[in-house]
A and B are shown apart, each in its own frame.
Chain A
């Protein structure tokens, strides 16, 4: 374990540097926006990473809540499998797919979700699942902060405004707020069952996000707002740079999570030991 970390660290550093070079120098300059558009290569991968981390947190929270109860556990297992199958079927049956979605990616996403769920289930015990939840929440918030800072910095020179209530930005803001409240709950909770409470909050947050998305969508159909970060097709060279940056950031996020995870596990062990010490201390010393 100890040898892998520095090697991966070096690899990540190399990847990040290469990705930075690609983003700043090699990628073609955008026609309308100019060089400022290059913020895109940091903004979007950070967003995708943050969402992935929050999704892992959601999976961990569900598992933590569901595992103690055998019935609920089986039910959730089957639901996850059903989702994967439904995604595969939907990918090839629903025509036409919403803009930007390919059948293969929909099916892969469905399978990946199921794979992630069962992988976590297999590799992480109950307490370790909770530790993973804390880790992904924290690192997710860090990446989400990057998204919310780079977003306005991109919007201001290009569209002239710092902020707009568009679907993606607002959903990201709400997600950020929800996970900050999650971390606050973790910090301020005095309960012995903090993981349960936090997991419940994470589930609520996850239920909330689609509702936020939908509500902003309605809002914008009624009150048209400027659109930021337009959709549509992307130059394949730019896509290439984008994916390289995402890969680099994924490695980076992975290493940060790993470090944070080790810290968390170590901290829990120390706390347990301290608690034991306090209990075993001879009364005369108190």
Chain B
């Protein structure tokens, strides 16, 4: 009987010790888990702040990229005008240059001393890959004092590669621009 009572006391003591240990372990684990959770929340907040900073920097860089695209589109037309003007022989001069982005054309009006120089000018334009369709629109003989000159107009259609980098298509292709309803 005494042995049984001792065993009961031993089991009860084991249960109490186990309960105390459990409480202690759980408290320690909970403390560690709380610390880790707090760290996690703080890191998540920091990550969110970094994400916002990254988004802001990325938006700035993307705006610059967009501005560069706009500038590139402007530059492509200026390059077209420059390359047409660079084809001018010495005795041909331009009186009017007009770009038309809608139909990707360039109109050049000018004055040439001779048919040969006019022909050389048009030949030079033909050799330029930026221009696809070049034709002599009109030629008129004019007299200035003792000089006889030719007034001419040359409409030029841009080649598809040059037209693709022109202002109108570039604005649509490079930046997705959507007109707001009701704007």
Question: A and B: partners?
Answer: no
- B-side residues, CB < 8 A to A, are none
